[in-house]
Amino acid sequence: ADPIKVAAIYTVPVEQQWVSRIDKALKAAQDRGEITYTFSENVANTDYERVMREYAEQGMDLVVGEAFAVERAARKVAAEYPDTAFLMGSSFGPAKPNFAVFDNWIHEPSYLSGMIAGSSTKSNVIGMVGGYAIPEVNRLMNAFMEGATSVNPDVKFLVTFINSWYDPPKAKEAAFAMVDKGADILYAERFGVSDAAKEKEILAIGNVIDTAGDYPGTILSSALWHMEPTIDRAVTAVVDGSFEPADYGPFSFMSYGGGSFVVDEGLADADAVSAAKAKEQEILDGLFRVNVNDSEPKSTM
Amino acid sequence: MIEIFEILLSANFWAAALRIATPLIFGVIGALICERAGVLNLGIEGIFTAGAMAGWMAVWLGAGLWGGVLVAAFAGAFFGLIHAILTVPLGLSQHVSGIGVTLFATSLSYFIYRTALPDVSSPPRIEAFQPLDIPVLSELPFIGPALFQQTPLTFLALFLVLATAYLLYRTPLGLAIQAVGDNPSAVESQGLSVYAVRMGTVVAGSAVMALGGAFLTMSAFDAFFFGMVNGRGWICIALTVFASWRPGKALIGALLFGAFDAFQVRLQTEVGSFIPGQLFLMMPYILSIAALIFVARRADYPRALLVPYFRGQR
Amino acid sequence: MIRFEPRGPVSVSRMLAVSLAAAFAALVLAAIPMAFAGLSAFNAYSLMAKGAFGSLFAFTEMLTRATPLILTGLAAAVAFRAKLWNIGAEGQLYAGALAAVAVGTGAISAPAYLLIPMVALAGALAGGLVMLGPTLLKTRLGVDEVVTTLLLNFIILLFVQMMLEGPMQDPMGMGWPQSEPILDEAALPKLLDRMRIHWGLVVALAAALGVYFLLKRTVWGFEIRAVGENAAAARHAGIPVTATFVRVGLLSGALAGLAGVGEVAGLKGYLTADLSPGFGYSGIVVAMLAGLSPIGVVFAALFIASIFVGADSMSRATGVSNYLADLIVAMALLCVLVSGLFLRFKVRFIGAPSTREIAK
Amino acid sequence: MTGPTQEADIVLRLDGITKRFGMLTANGDVSLDLKQGEILALLGENGAGKTTLMNILFGHYVADEGKVLVNQSGTGLSELEPGSPHAALESGIGMVHQHFTLAENLSALDNIILGTEKLISLTSARAPARKKLAELITRSGLDVPLDARISQLSVGEKQRVEILKALYRDARVLVLDEPTAVLTPQESDTLFATLKKLSADGLAIIFISHKLAEVMASSHRVAVLRGGRKVADLPTAECDLRKLAELMVGHEIVETVRDAGSPGAPLLALQNISVGDGRDALHQVDLVLHSGEILGIAGVSGNGQTTLARVISGLEPPASGTISMEGDDRTDANARAVIDNGLARIPEDRHRDGIVGPMSVSENLAIESIRKPENQRFGLLRFSAMREKARNLIKAYDIRCQGEDSPARLLSGGNIQKIVLARTLDPEPKVVLAAQPSRGLDVGATSDVHKRLLVARARGAGVILISEDLDELMRLSDRIAVIHRGHLSSAEETETLDRGTLGLRMAGQGGEQAA
Ligand SMILES: Nc1ncnc2c1ncn2[C@@H]1O[C@H](COP(=O)(O)OP(=O)(O)OP(=O)(O)O)[C@@H](O)[C@H]1O
Ligand SMILES: Nc1ncnc2c1ncn2[C@@H]1O[C@H](COP(=O)(O)OP(=O)(O)OP(=O)(O)O)[C@@H](O)[C@H]1O
Ligand SMILES: [Mg+2]
Ligand SMILES: [Mg+2]
């Protein structure tokens, strides 16, 4: 069969961790010859609706994107182009006839990386640097914090938001400040934090993407997001003609392979690793549910 | 309260302040040089971006770090030249030309970066400048870590402050720059070319600005990101006024700003749980305005700033 | 050696010729990055034209994009006329949007014919008040307004974020930093079904006419022009310079605030901290392109909007990085800037002194 | 004139210079020779082309036709590269411009050495420059504080810096464009004494002036331009004042004379006014102006005249003291109120304070009364009424312009002054404050201003005339007071005064000062 036409609309550049995962999954599908793939990056919200319509008008079979700040408009456009399938990042539910949603539900691996961090910290201070305090970020940070305190009730957290998605020098400074305050593990929500950890020779926790190769000996553990389960299902559904306005969010769960937990066993304590692995199994078996908490995390020091 | 003093007395804090201030020092010195010659350069935000991209790209392509610095300076000079041509002999509005240059430099940098590297899912990295560990000096108690664990570009920035002060106040060229920013006809009637002095100054000033961008990708970090300049250029425009167009005060202003920023980051973790983070982030801007009101207002600004000069026209 | 000599009134044909030449130069220049990206220029240009004018949708999108630009362009034009360098339209736009949301999301319930004007008024007022600060600092204390307005942009944006994460956050927004939606009675009606174009455009056009009329025909306009062209002489002639600056500041801020109202109440329906992709800064460009003429602002805004929308659409159709759109806008801007010079000046090329004459 | 012996003396020759600005021929085929050690006065009405000619000579402008020849260090005349001030300076031409060309933010020394060294150099040779200047200063008597910033210098000192700039570069030709327009009589005298000394040392000098007396007193030769063409070139000894005026204007100038006045009741009174500190402060100034009189205020510029005018104009509130008009307290009146009270003001800097250049003549004529019902209704401007009025005023005051809609900036200084006169005097004000009203104007325009002031006086207005020109003051004023360092002497009948006494008082010697 001919490859289906897929377009993606990103409100940030494709290098941004989040979007890079979607981009990666789509590129893989393209490489397999299932789809043709084109994207617009850094699209301002003002322009988002026009871009959606343009892709729809161009006869795209599937449009992938982030509806977070343009929820209403995105749903309206989708309703007007019933022949195009829309798969949008969204905090809300799907909508008939063609508006499916997804989100980065990797709170589970975040909890696990929190367990590793909690048992690895010597100073009992963990620094966390985020971009903006939005639910998608808060959720993971809260799960991480919960995981850490579950193994180490004494651990304290420093939380800073730098109010930018891409200002690594600033993120790095925020991280340095935390090291000055005694943090010996840094939660790297943004680019720049792991660099600070590496420079100060302490450990960092990765988020969404695996950067262990870039910072050998620094990344203690990571919670990874994989868009392939989501994208592949959606693409197959479009090809089959069976695309439904469903919530693809769960495909980011660990049980579907949408989220995964990695730990550098050379850096982490063996007991901690086995505890986390046990918890991982519980999660996979559906015996343990990680709480979803979208409220803004605060420093506890 | 105690906490605040602890922060202010820690060497790491001052090291961070100087580090954060470094791109601003380049920027404000560059802006100050241009404005001393009578040309407001609102292209600075774009020139920062161009410097960040070009310098990084050069290193990534194998030019070596100092080669990258040179390339960044040339990129800055290139956009400075555009601004200079538009505003000096052509006498176009400095505001709009500057904003045009910002648009142009930014979009061109992004376009080149993306076209050259279409398939990166994570930004490629270079081996950036490392802090110099100057043997004895960096071991000094407080001063050591604060001053002497910086990367070479920070020292370059500090050197440029001195060099600019010397240039302005001690050399014939400096006199000409100061004069052309005050009364271009004073320069022309002494047989010098107003256009040459102004254009040369704007080009040089822009090259210096670009180093601020280069610092971001080659020293503060090791990769290029879209939007990473993040308003730093505009801050420099404000700092220039704050500094009353004097290199020494420019350094102090940049350091103050850096200190606010470093302080803000540290304070946020202290009391961030009950005060919205944005309030901290506002602090440097609010304090800049306050400083303008109480310190720098009515500074004697270059009188010919913003005024185009046409030979033989009245 | 090049020399510029001022030229008198410009004929319409010359103006057209120069504008066309500028457009042509911009297209030629834009072909360079296009070639770099492997695009055929001709194809790209026809796609651009199609993207801005090729369909009702494209055309209304272009107008929708031009709407805030007209208003921020007017904000800059009127301020710059008085030599009040308001670089803060971006912040005033957000202030206007914030006020519109504060009024229009349920705080007040009233029928549309009351609520819409109230929302607009609140936005205009908020924008105006934001500009009042720098204006008074300038007139009372001599603080440079370029800097204060510029810095205020950052402060206001942070304030908006603070409000959106705090008291004004939409409780139904799943924790996203966004405001509650504007009530239907408070929203600016759409001009066309299924299109995004809204009454903000009419407001913007009316504002352009209003500002034109104000500057041209009223005492206040006279005073604004006098203060802008020569504040010392205006003061000497008994014109209240400070009051004029305050009026101009309020008006300029109000226009920018209205742009924010249009974006939030006409287009998006709720406020987020990334409402504007720099409309405030583009407004300065629009105003200067228009030579600070209020009517010219409309055309300059349409020009910028059509270049952007057209180029953006073209980049999408060809799969080239969409940063190309901004690049083409920037190039077009620079070309138009340079061309303006040929309207105002005669350019003469003068050779160095000929050695022939000296030898003689 | 072209004899071989004289040829050797010629240091500068303008040969058939023509310069056009659009339709306007500013210089038409002007030729001129200048000999070593000669002082040449260049005369002409406003707009006759004097400045243009000198700007061509110095390379600011490029002539459309003709050339400039200079005698480069005795090797005979050779052509000067056109359009290059640098070349002009190199070949020994120095110029003091009509408007100062000094950077206010630099010291006098730095202004002088600016451009005399290689730009790209690690050091600026201030020390040797200082030595050379010290020597120059003693030789020429041009005393200036070398290390003071220009912004702190008086007009006379700035003038001297300008001349030093030229001498420092070993100029052999010195051009001065209206050097005395802003100087006091004493300063002018000193300047000319210096110039004579320099010319005796071999410097060739061209100066432009509208003051015929000093031309007669100080020049060897006179050249007159009219409408851009040279209409006369003759030794000063063969001229007299009347002949010069005629040559410039093309017809005879009738000097305005003041008839015996009949001063009436007091109109305007300043009591004990103090304001400001520093150079331009006022200290306890008392002044009474009666109707039907002209009260002259003499003084060296920079002694508080500007502040006095600003205070009376309502632009600056006094720190202490009272101002009353016809008995009513008007101390706090702002500019608007002052105008409405019937006080007309002619500003000393007409370009800065007098007109809004880009606005039209008719708008500039209406600017002070723009809120009056004749110019607006419900806040809307009444353009036709404004134009109508403007046309009448243009006729009545003989304002030369291309119509009421042309931008005011295109007018010559004299005609700009007429705009100011027309709009301030037409409403028949009770009081007229005229600050330096004829500064920089040619004889024709000056006599026009004088006539207007006398007409106002004749219909019963009181006029305050602030001027540095003693002749003008003596001719027009009924009484004269002297301002020095912010203190105003009590006014005395003009008949009881003479130039010498006034000059001394202006310099701060003799005469009682108001306490
Ligand atoms: N740059 C210019 N552009 C247009 N016209 C000019 C320019 N410079 C001089 N002119 C015109 O040339 C004529 C001669 O002017 P110029 O300044 O030489 O007169 P002037 O004799 O020096 O008068 P004044 O005694 O008032 O100084 C004037 O009509 C003037 O308007
Ligand atoms: N920039 C200009 N463009 C066109 N015409 C000009 C320009 N400047 C001056 N003129 C014309 O030249 C004439 C003389 O103007 P100018 O300013 O040279 O007078 P001026 O001789 O210098 O007067 P002065 O110094 O008293 O007062 C004016 O009538 C005006 O029409
Ligand atoms: Mg003149
Ligand atoms: Mg002249």
Selected residue with higher pLDDT from D144 and A301 = D144
**Phi, psi torsion values for D376, nearest 5 degrees:** -150, 155
**Structure-derived torsion over alpha carbons of residues A43, A46, A48, A52, reported in degrees to the nearest 10:** -140
pLDDT tier at C320, thresholds 50, 70, 90:
confident
Interface chains of chain A (3 or more CB pairs under 8 Å):
B, C
Q: Is the pLDDT of residue C88 over 70?
A: yes
Q: Does C237 touch chain D (CB under 8 A)?
A: yes
Closest-CA residue to C27 (of C11, C14, C44, C39): C44
Nearest to D379 among C1, C218, C235 (CB): C218
Cis amide prior to A97 (ω within 30 degrees): yes
Ligand 1 geometric centre to CA of D50 (Å): 7
CA distance A22 to A40: 13
Q: How far apart, in whole angstroms, are the C-alpha atoms of residue C263 and residue C89?
A: 14
Q: Does D367 touch chain C (CB under 8 A)?
A: yes
Chain C residues 247-276 with a CB less than 8 Å from chain B: none
Does residue D292 carry a pLDDT above 70?
yes
Weakest mean pLDDT among A88-102, B121-135, C110-124: B121-135
- Does residue C237 belong to the interface with chain B, where contact is any CB pair within 8 Å? no
| Reported confidence tier of residue C359, pLDDT bands at 50, 70, 90 | very low
Domains in chain C: ranges and CATH: 2-359 (1.10.3470)
Query: pLDDT tens-digit profile of D62-95?
Result: 999 999 999 876 677 889 998 899 999 999 999 9
Is residue B302 left, alpha or beta, with left meaning phi > 0 and alpha meaning psi from -120 to 50?
Answer: beta
Placement of tokens 């000394």 in the chain: D197
B179 at interface of D, judged by CB pairs closer than 8 A:
yes
For residue B141, being part of any structural domain is answered with no
| Contact yes or no for A42 and C274 at CB 8 A | no
With 60 as the cut, is the pLDDT of residue C309 above it?
yes
- Residues A169, B216: C-beta atoms closer than 8 Å: yes
- Residue C98 Cα to ligand 3 middle (Å): 55
- Closest to B183 in 3D by CA, of B289, B64, B38: B38
Neighbour subunits, C (≥3 Cβ pairs < 8 A): A, B, D
Residue B262 forms contact with A (CB below 8 Å): yes
Given a cut of 60, whether residue D329 has pLDDT beyond it is yes
Using CA atoms, how far apart are residues D363 and B60, in angstroms rounded to an integer? 62
Work out the average pLDDT over A89-115.
91
pTM of the full structure: 0.88
CA distance B199 to B205: 10
Residue D410 Cβ inside 6 Å of ligand 2? The answer reads yes
| Residue D8 reports pLDDT greater than 70 | no
| pLDDT at site B272 | 59
pLDDT at residue C5 in the model = 61
| Confidence grade of residue C352 (pLDDT, cut at 50, 70, 90) | very low
The mean of the pLDDT values for chain D is: 89
Judge whether residue A149 has pLDDT over 60: yes
Whether chain D has a CB inside 8 Å of the CB on B299: the answer is no
Confidence of residue C9 (pLDDT cuts 50, 70, 90): low
Neighbours of D266 (CB within 10 A): 15
Q: Is A in contact with D (3 or more beta carbon pairs below 8 Å)? A: no
In whole angstroms, what is the distance from residue A88 CA to residue C40 CA?
33
For C156, the enclosing helix (H) or strand (E) is helix C145-165
Write the pLDDT tens digit of every residue in C242-292: 999 999 999 999 999 999 999 999 998 899 988 999 899 899 888 888 888
Can you give the pLDDT at residue D1?
A: 39
Q: Please indicate whether the domains covering D1-92+205-253 and D255-342+429-515 agree at the CATH topology level.
A: yes
Asked if D101 reaches chain B (Cβ–Cβ under 8 Å), the answer is yes
pLDDT at residue B194 greater than cutoff 80:
yes
Structural domains counted in chain B: 1
| Residue with CA nearest ligand 1 atom 16 | D49
Instruction: Assign residue B92 the CATH number of its domain.
Output: 1.10.3470
DSSP string spanning D348-377?
Answer: SSIIIII--TTSBHHHHHHGGGTTSTTTEE
The whole-number pLDDT of residue B108 equals 95
Break chain D into its structural domains and give their ranges. Answer: 1-92+205-253, 93-171, 255-342+429-515, 357-427
Number of H helices and E strands in chain D, helices first, is 17, 23
pLDDT in tens, C124-156: 999 999 999 999 999 998 888 888 998 899 999
Give the class (CATH, top level) of D255-342+429-515.
alpha beta
Contact C218 D381 (CB under 8 A): yes
Residue B288 is assigned to a structural domain of this protein: yes
Asked if B213 contacts B51 with a C-beta cutoff of 8 angstroms, the reply is: yes
Say how many Å lie between the CA of residue D410 and the centre of ligand 2: 6
Q: What per-residue confidence (pLDDT) applies to A10?
A: 93
Amino acid at B138: S
pLDDT at residue D510, as a whole number: 60
pLDDT exceeds 80 at position B121: no
Query: Are C and A close enough to touch, i.e. 3+ CB pairs under 8 angstroms?
Result: yes
* A173:B261 CB<8 A: yes
Whether B295 has a pLDDT exceeding 70, the answer reads no
Domain-located, residue B306: no
Domain extent for B7: 2-116+147-296
- Cβ contacts (< 8 Å) between B300 and chain D: which residues? 105
Residue D24 — φ and ψ, nearest 5°? -85, 130
Residue C107, pLDDT > 50, answer yes
Ligand nearest to the CA of C7: 2
Q: How confident is the model at residue D515 (pLDDT cuts 50, 70, 90)?
A: very low
C216: closest chain D residue by CA: D381
Residue B187 near chain A (CB below 8 Å): no
State mean pLDDT over D149-178: 90
Please work out whether the CB of residue D49 comes within 6 Å of at least one atom of ligand 2. no
In a domain, B196, yes or no: yes
Choose among A163, A152, A82, A168: nearest CA to A120. A152
Instruction: Write down the CATH number for the domain with range D1-92+205-253.
Output: 3.40.50.300
* DSSP tag of D221: E
Q: Which residue has the higher pLDDT, D252 or D158?
A: D158
Whole-number CA gyration radius for chain C: 23
**Per-residue pLDDT tens digits for A202-257:** 999 999 999 888 898 999 999 999 999 999 999 999 999 889 899 999 999 999 99
Asked if pLDDT for residue C353 goes beyond 60, the answer is: no
In this prediction the ipTM stands at: 0.86
Instruction: Give per-residue pLDDT as tens, D489-513.
Output: 999 999 899 888 888 888 777 644 4
Give A101 or C341, the one with higher predicted confidence: A101
CB-closest option in B125, B225, B269 to A158: B269
Are β-strands D65-71 and D77-79 bridged in parallel, bridged antiparallel, or unpaired? Answer: antiparallel
Q: What is the DSSP string of A40-57?
A: E-S--HHHHHHHHHHHHH
CB B31 within 8 A of CB B240: yes
Q: How far is the CA of D48 from the centre of ligand 1 (A)?
A: 7
Q: Which of C161, C178, C277 sits opposite A46 (nearest CB)?
A: C277
Q: Is the pLDDT of residue D143 over 90?
A: no
Of C219, C230, C353, the CB nearest to D376: C219
Q: Spell out the residues 6+ positions from residue B274 whose beta carbon is closer than 8 angstroms to its own.
A: none
Q: What does the alpha-carbon distance between residue D180 and residue D208 come to, in Å, rounded to a whole number?
A: 9
Q: Which residue of B has its CA nearest to C152?
A: B285
Cβ contacts (< 8 Å) between B13 and chain A: which residues?
A: 180
d(CA A260, CA A284): 11
Residue % of chain C over a pLDDT of 90: 53
Type and span of the H or E element at A204:
strand A203-208
Is the beta carbon of D410 within 6 A of some atom in ligand 1? no
At residue C203, the pLDDT reads 97
Instruction: Tell me how far CA of residue D378 lies from CA of C221, C246, D337, in angstroms.
Output: 13, 21, 21
Do B201 and B177 contact (CB within 8 A), yes or no? yes
Place of tokens 């050695």: C355
For ligand 1, whether the C-beta of B227 sits within 6 Å is: no
